[in-house]
């Protein structure tokens, strides 16, 4: 799911000085993958 979401956000046609994209993880899993 995250790949699709981040890919879609990166593909936005929006001025870079007008957009902030935040990637948040609220998982309780302590393992980084």
Provide the whole-model pTM: 0.49
Q: Could you read off the pLDDT of 1-33 as tens digits, one per residue? A: 778 988 998 899 999 899 998 888 888 888 876
Supply the DSSP string of the chain, one letter for each residue: -HHHHHHHHHT--S-GGG---------------
Q: What is the pLDDT of residue 23?
A: 84
The two tokens of residue 22 are 């935040």
List C-alpha distances in Å: 22 to 26, 32: 13, 18
Q: What is the pLDDT of residue 3?
A: 86
Instruction: Give Cβ neighbours of residue 2 (< 8 Å, ≥ 6 apart).
Output: 23
Sole residue written with tokens 């799911």: 1
């Amino acid at each position: 799911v995250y790949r699709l979401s981040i890919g879609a956000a990166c593909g936005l046609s929006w001025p870079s000085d007008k957009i902030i994209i935040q990637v948040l993880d609220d998982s309780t899993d302590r393992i980084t993958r």
